[in-house]
Structure 1
Amino acid sequence: MKHHPLLWLLGFRVSRNPISVYILNLAASDLLYLCCLLVFYLWKLIDYFVFNYYNYIHAVGMWFYSMGLFMLSAISVERCLAVLFPIWYRCRRPRHMSAVMCALLWALSLLLTMLLHFSCSSFFSKDELCLIMHSVIAPCLIFVFVILCGSSLTLLVRMLCSSRRLQLTRLYVTLGLTVLVFLLCGLPVGIMHVLEAIDAPGIPFSTFILLESAAFLLSSINSSANPIIYFFVGSFRQKHQQWQQRRSLKLVLQKALEDVAEGEKSGESPPQESVELSGSP
């Protein structure tokens, strides 16, 4: 898994800023989600899978999946705040807001997952309570998805249609590609979860299982794609000599999170400064 060096670089090597904190948590949720999928399919291969294990792994997997959605939405909202309220963002934004938001989102996602799991487990066996929890959690995921799309569209409009257009930076390219891959590969799992919540009327069970398997496959691609996106964006237009440096992965990651337009650079900035957001704590 390519998330190991990414977590190491984000956690210990790259200078911290509001975006890198969210990216670190997004990478952690992606890695843990891939681990859940790996355990799920290994159990199926050895034919040792029972329904209770499926419930547990499904619940944990949905926890990490929802965290990925929450993190993407938080990153988009963070950039919208920086664009729409630049003075407040630079001067009045709480210093540790990113870390606090990540902690709250982890706790909220865990709480929703636990409520859903225990209300639908065979221990309680209350179909009405399970249906109620699905009817509560599914709209929550839809609401977060709407926030993600709305904030992303706001940034896109400011780049293309506004009289004060945003200059395209590597950070916006990274965010745009990450959101696009999620919409193409990560969203189907959420759709299947909503269909499961409403009992998927009109869909045969065998067809539903096939669609669910395809959705899980796509979600694994989504969780594996982010390091590739950072590598692609960060290495674009880089000199060949940098590939030979031991610190090249760190430089590539810093470039991918760079919030400075190419035309604004008077020269190569020092590696430790290239990831810093202007005016951010």
Structure 2
Amino acid sequence: MAESPTAGQPESVLDTIVQTSANSSLDPPTEAPGDFVSHYRITILSLVIALVGLVGNSIVLWLLGFRTRRSPFSVYILNLAAADALLLGSYFGLRTWRIVGDFDFVILGLLELCFLGLPYCVGLSLLAAISTECCLCVLFPLWYRSHRPKHTSAAVCAILWALHGLLWGVIVALYFLNKDHFYDLYFVLDLVQFSWFLLLTGVLGVSSLTLVLRVQCSSQRRRPPRLYLLVLLTVLVFLLCGLPWGIIHAVWSFSGFCIMPSELSSLLACVNSSANPFIYFFLGSQWRRRGREPLRVVLQRALGEEQPKGEPKLLTFLV
């Protein structure tokens, strides 16, 4: 592990990440045999999970982008699948490059910050937007149905991608155009990003708790809609597997203290981004039916676009 920066050793955040990348590369002479084997297994497992999740999210992208009719909620899921696919694809490519390629640690560290940080932040923002919309729909159904603009989902997704893309673009531009003051400005940008992270996490927690209470109350009268369960399971997986990655990065950036091995946090992040397609298809499947159903039908059912008679459609409040 790299040494933590002290007051007499003013190391930058990026330099610390670069040192960590150098020490965490799979170089047998610098690691004990047991540590090398453990590191190798976790990395390979992460790559396998990333590859499986990339395939699953690509299927969701294909179905929602070209095979189904767009709905407000499916627009969010489409963008969430795009963010997960970008994170998994970037992780697979950069990690493979780190293992087998000859690279510059500074450039690789910068690429990992951008191509992994961008989709992670966008995914968190989309989850917060999804849970907030469902929460508003549950609490104020009539008001929400009459006052919600038609293209809200597309506008929110476009704004989130543009804001986070601008932030990470500024970080890259500052590094190449103004290296002398890059580290001071990067600390300010990192502080802004951490504040946004705390805000979104709070919004996600409050809206998810509201949905849990709503599902608990409605389950006493009738079966809760699949859409509620889909949102709650997706948020739960993120809180268990995706949230630690952001917390670890924040703690490391401001204190230089590593509370969890980077390989383990990366593994959890890959699990989080890979689990969503399986949640969709699991909730959309009807195990009592015999025979196979098209994945498009299963996905539509999971999104609440196809429900049995007598069961309320949540999406009717979103159109």
The normalised TM-score by structure 1 is 0.84
For residue 280 of structure 1, what is the aligned residue in structure 2?
A: 318
Deviation at 1:275, TM superposition (A): 8.1
For residue 140 of structure 1, what is the aligned residue in structure 2?
A: 196
Extract structure 1 runs of 4+ deviating beyond 3 A: 115-123, 164-167, 259-263
Structure 2 portions without partners, runs of 5+: 1-54
* 1:19-38 superposed matches below 5 A: 19-38=73-92
State the AA in 2 paired with 1:96: H
Deviation at 1:45, TM superposition (A): 1.6
Contact 2:248–2:260 (CA under 8 A) maintained in structure 1: no
Deviation at 1:259, TM superposition (A): 6.6
> Residue 104 of structure 1: which of 159, 163, 169 is its match?
159
> Percentage identity across aligned positions?
40
Q: 1:47 to 1:260 in 2, by over 3 A?
A: closer
Bigger mean CA offset, 66-75 vs 49-58:
49-58
The normalised TM-score by structure 2 is 0.75
Q: Distance in 2 between matches of 1:86 and 1:106?
A: 28
Bigger mean CA offset, 108-117 vs 220-229:
108-117
Q: Distance in 2 between matches of 1:10 and 1:122?
A: 40
Asked whether 1:182 is paired with 2:238, we answer yes
Give deviations 1:75-134, integer Å, cap 9, x for gaps.
001101111221122222100011001100111111222334445669524332222222
Contact 1:33–1:61 (CA under 8 A) maintained in structure 2: yes
Q: How many residues align?
A: 263
> Residue 269 of structure 2: which of 219, 226, 232 is its match?
219
Deviation at 1:167, TM superposition (A): 5.2
Per the alignment, in what secondary structure is the counterpart of residue 277 of structure 1? helix
Q: 1:95 to 1:118 in 2, by over 3 A?
A: same
Q: Distance in 1 between matches of 2:109 and 2:145?
A: 46
For residue 148 of structure 2, what is the aligned residue in structure 1?
A: 93
Contact 2:301–2:307 (CA under 8 A) maintained in structure 1: no
State the AA in 2 paired with 1:84: L
Contact 1:30–1:64 (CA under 8 A) maintained in structure 2: yes
Give deviations 1:161-203, integer Å, cap 9, x for gaps.
58x9885111111111111111111111101221122123xx3
Q: Distance in 1 between matches of 2:304 and 2:103?
A: 45
Per the alignment, in what secondary structure is the counterpart of residue 7 of structure 1? helix
Q: Distance in 2 between matches of 1:121 and 1:136?
A: 21
Asked whether 1:156 is paired with 2:212, we answer yes
Deviation at 1:47, TM superposition (A): 3.4
RMSD: 2.7
Contact 2:211–2:232 (CA under 8 A) maintained in structure 1: no
Q: Distance in 2 between matches of 1:177 and 1:279?
A: 21
Q: 1:238 to 1:278 in 2, by over 3 A?
A: farther
Larger Rg: 2
